[in-house]
Structure 1
């Protein structure tokens, strides 16, 4: 007869193990011939009580006999039996027991029955554990991998075998690196090593899992792991549960992608920057390569006209790769059968899951063929950029290397975030259009060029602020004045936008008008102050008190300077503006200490004129505050850099101006946060031989004397050709001074780019031009002067007035 140890499991968890179970031996008639100590513990009967007696008479209650006899008959027919039966305890109570029965052949004819039993509760628990273990390996959808202490695979369940493509027995004895791609095998082995060494369980760690059999198929799994130990604490290995969460991961990734697209796309109002943000977001979460191709009018802020074929311009490519045809800034051809052309024509996404299945893709464009062959591109999505019913361009997304082909869900996600990006691009396009129009308006309000002047040599720069802030109200001007003098002005209207530019235009026109009156600098600034107050009142009245930030005229600042190349005197006044800098030929740079004055628009506060004599070759630098705040807001450091740039006053002005901009403006493509106006003037002095001045007594012979002096000087200058006209002009002006003024009369001739004739007296009476009637004896003098000269006018001084005229010089 076989030994019991060969007939039944010896697993310590097995309730039928001989060390744990009750056992008995029955003969073929049901008489007990063997009884174990464990049976005595469970049922209360000793071996003496039961051996030799029929088991059903002693151990079975009368009411349970039918069930027991049916089980015995079943066992007799099959040669074995497993199940549960009610057994009578010695104290009379019923005990549910689970049994295993097996027929054992004897040496003589006949047979015996070997029974092992255990309480039903223990048997059921063992059965559940067996069923659970069997389910984990055979039917569970969650993968199970068991590793040995040396980190080799001991067993995998059917779910892992199905997902990996390996037979269940194939990975046994191997390490993960032998059946996973290297990028995924490293983290997997490190995970097992950490759990083995520390005993710390791993819970829901997500990781990519790609097998060597199919490296192009990427699966995302959630891994939990724990260390297995026996009752003595000996480490048996590591068990890992692996759940395929690819679909959940992809759905979460798509949702994250849409959230990132909302946060990262449209951070600026620049068309190209917005397109780059779109490409970067797509590559981070959806594709291996992404390009954004816009219709050319869109890139400059214009609206493409429907039905008119225009080329596509590549404005963004991520990641940058020189192997990709059509880099940023290149025109992308639209071939009729290309996905891009079909996308634009049908206004819907085009999904090409496997490009290799479409031979026409490779045949239609050699450069695009290079993409698929050289970069391993195998899948494509092309999405139209449509905003407010307007087609702006297309977004192309490619997958290459190990990535799986695009799916319909990917195309839906691409269309979703591309639609959001299209609105941002269209907003940037509209802003670019408005900004371009506003900047054109502003530049048209500034002097286009500064002509050569006898008083100064001029270099200037105007730099607009960054696009998000809008144009500002900074301006500069160079205004020729009578007597070869020149007015220099720089100003800044508070605020940004079209209203600031319009206010700037008004102020610049007003400055030119006031300058033509030859007023002192403090008077010019005072009248500008009145004008700004009037403008503010008008704007508030028109708006009815409902003013936006851009519409409010809060005020302005300016500095106004007049330089005389004959006397070398410079008169300045400022209204809350930064003081100009003077660089003398010896290299000293100083800030002019002229009174600051209040900003324009406050009204009622006084302004003062500051006079300074400038050596020939000095640099007078006027600028707005944006110049000092452009780099990092450190005014002192910027002012020191400005001093250093202006110290070399002998350098060419254009080089000096460029050096100031390079030293103080942000480096790279960044625009300043405020617009900047910079005006640098190098003073010049008229040669003494080009200026002639005489003081004439107030006598009847003054006019004749004036004619003689004029003719002699013009002959000396080689201008005898205009002598007759000039002596007539001088005679008329001196005659008027003799008739209507008191005190001495000064006659001055200046030869510059024109011939200037000035007559000064001590009277403040203003001469008026009138048309004399045929019966009038006088009143024709100023009329003749106006007809014989190009310009004439009057300027007032503290001591009187000066009437001046300008005549063109004859050709050399």
Structure 2
């Protein structure tokens, strides 16, 4: 049978008694001095809490029968109800304990609803409202919080006491709590600013229903906690989180989305991140898109997030151009580089929203009431803007919120600029490498060739490895594979210069060792021509293997500059690695290179490759050469298929650590000279 309940204790998140009433003294037999700061487990019989502890751990409301432990050790069966309420981030959830039996109190007596002994000296503010949501009682703490100017007045509604916007939303939330019986915890409230005063610290408001003994709601209790210090900690934590979440990749679209995801719901209910067209070079320039007198394309949508699934507030999806009125806060922030702060959105006629009916409709539909727009700027370049909007959260944005949004935007801007610069350099490097590597190998009638190039970083796609097949006089062919030190645009540029030098030297009909000696001299000169400062080094180095095959004599002449040996596969499947003297890499200046010559049967296979194919830090070259040997002994088939099989099976498992280049050449039966 249900019994009337009376508030008896206030329990902290650490399950310690921090408030004790006269009703508790009657029920337990302990005085306030004996109960205060005591673990609540000592106040209940062992095994007699019937789920109370579990409810407190999960921070949920619970009611049921318990066995109270009295001072003489005897138990007493009582009905207990535990209700959580938030006191801000610094302290977590606390709990109100109500216990019976007592006679049902009259609602007209404030002390019967909320015992003064419980809340008069509590650190949080307390305000009790009746069924009509009119104030009937408050404690001293709430009068000192600047929550209600002049303090609560009995018989007045919250909308009659609070100035500025937000009071209607707060009263609507009180009505929801009263009717549903579900508490509302830790809602941020920004006290309205007063002219001439600095911004006041935010408050954390929690609402929970007060029930009659028969379960019917009889009022609402509001708890207010000054969260100025915890709010500062929350802002610092969010900025720290932004440092790890924003900029995890060098992709501008993903970085924009990470900013939106970080800010929702911690700061705003709806966030969009718009990017300038210069940040997304692959998109159509905005100036080429159609515009009108009331709508111009100003940005591309980079990211968006909402407390509502599917982001229904969004008028444009990611990657789409965003249109705004020519005169609006969006263009104002873009042109001035200054933030727009609108704690209470002005929906009255005569504003810029008259020319933006779609946005006005979204504001009305989702109850959006507070707006901030901040620029995304780094190194003097405007990269876009970020918009922060509140709708579900009834508290308007504060100046502290604006500073937090600007801090998030500053961190995101640096990541966006790094991604923009990276994308620009990568695009240039890819274009350079595509122009510098052979588009189609010209091997003449001496050999059939197949090639592969695989960068270590498939995202970057740029390195210093190269390969070439250069036709020579008398149907001979030069086969070359090399590896310039480094990655990125500098390595690609150096590779292009070295490759052109090799092509020029090949036209001189020099033996392989002489080609490498001349190449060494040229590369030393390239290093000397490079500027040396604190950011660059004049050292330029490359390994290279140079092979000349003469189909008339079937002679193959080879020389190596610090490069892995060529593999020779005979028609019967035997694989041998040529015993080529390994000279120093070109660019060192030693010039000590020697050629060897061998005679190949018709249908032999020559495999040239870079060390990235057969060597990693965790796997030495001998193991890689064994894997290459096994791949080359596979049954003969199409050369392209063999090249694919080698790239798929020879590298060590895991992420490649170096670029890979492969050149396969199968000798052909020579065509007699003078015959077509």
> 1:312 aligned to 291, 295, 299, which one?
299
> 8 Å contact 1:296–1:312 — kept in the other structure?
yes
Q: What whole-Å deviation, never above 9, does each CA across 1:699-723 have from its counterpart, x for those lacking one?
A: xxxxxxxxxxxxxxxxxxxxxxxxx
> 8 Å contact 1:585–1:618 — kept in the other structure?
yes
CA distance in 1, matches of 2:30, 2:526: 100
Q: Does 1:256 align with 2:206?
A: no
Deviation at residue 616 of structure 1 after TM alignment = 4.9
In structure 1, the residue matched to 2:119 is 157
> 2:662 aligned to 674, 679, 688, which one?
679
Question: In terms of Rg, which structure is larger?
Answer: 1
> 8 Å contact 1:362–1:369 — kept in the other structure?
no
CA distance in 2, matches of 1:253, 1:515: 68
In structure 2, the residue matched to 1:450 is 441
CA RMSD of aligned residues (A): 5.1
Partner SS, residue 312 of structure 1: strand
Q: What whole-Å deviation, never above 9, does each CA across 1:447-497 have from its counterpart, x for those lacking one?
A: 233246322333334455659999543222221111112111111222346
Query: Matches of residues 167-246 of structure 1 in structure 2 within 5 Å?
Result: 167=129, 212=177, 215=184, 218=187, 244-246=225-227
Alpha-carbon distance change, 289 to 145 in structure 1, aligned in 2, over 3 angstroms:
closer
> 2:412 aligned to 408, 418, 421, which one?
421
CA distance in 2, matches of 1:403, 1:630: 58
CA distance in 2, matches of 1:151, 1:486: 103
CA distance in 1, matches of 2:317, 2:244: 26
Deviation at residue 617 of structure 1 after TM alignment = 5.0
CA distance in 1, matches of 2:619, 2:388: 42
Structure 2 stretches lacking a partner, 5+ long: 1-25, 33-90, 103-112, 133-172, 189-202, 207-222, 290-295
Q: Does 1:625 align with 2:611?
A: yes
> 8 Å contact 1:222–1:245 — kept in the other structure?
no
Matched residues, number: 492
> 8 Å contact 1:621–1:678 — kept in the other structure?
no
In structure 2, the residue matched to 1:581 is 567
Greater fraction helix? 1
Partner SS, residue 184 of structure 2: coil
Alpha-carbon distance change, 434 to 161 in structure 1, aligned in 2, over 3 angstroms:
closer
Q: What whole-Å deviation, never above 9, does each CA across 1:55-100 have from its counterpart, x for those lacking one?
A: xxxxxxxxxxxxxxxxxxxxxxxxxxxxxxxxxxxxxxxxxxxxxx
CA distance in 2, matches of 1:329, 1:414: 23
Deviation at residue 251 of structure 1 after TM alignment = 1.9
CA distance in 2, matches of 1:400, 1:586: 77
TM-score, normalised by the number of residues in structure 2 = 0.58
> 8 Å contact 1:302–1:429 — kept in the other structure?
no
Alpha-carbon distance change, 294 to 577 in structure 1, aligned in 2, over 3 angstroms:
same
> 1:522 aligned to 497, 513, 533, which one?
513
Query: Matches of residues 90-109 of structure 1 in structure 2 within 5 Å?
Result: none
TM-score, normalised by the number of residues in structure 1 = 0.50
> 8 Å contact 1:483–1:750 — kept in the other structure?
no
Q: Does 1:344 align with 2:313?
A: no
Alpha-carbon distance change, 609 to 666 in structure 1, aligned in 2, over 3 angstroms:
closer
CA distance in 1, matches of 2:370, 2:184: 16
In structure 2, the residue matched to 1:332 is 322
Alpha-carbon distance change, 298 to 169 in structure 1, aligned in 2, over 3 angstroms:
closer
In structure 2, the residue matched to 1:480 is 471
Structure with the larger RCO, 1 or 2 (CA within 8 Å, 6+ apart)? 2
Alpha-carbon distance change, 163 to 469 in structure 1, aligned in 2, over 3 angstroms:
same
Query: Matches of residues 711-726 of structure 1 in structure 2 within 5 Å?
Result: none
> 8 Å contact 2:603–2:669 — kept in the other structure?
no
Q: Does 1:295 align with 2:295?
A: no
> 2:228 aligned to 229, 247, 271, which one?
247
Deviation at residue 254 of structure 1 after TM alignment = 1.6
Alpha-carbon distance change, 370 to 610 in structure 1, aligned in 2, over 3 angstroms:
farther
Q: What whole-Å deviation, never above 9, does each CA across 1:311-338 have from its counterpart, x for those lacking one?
A: 5333334589655554443333345477
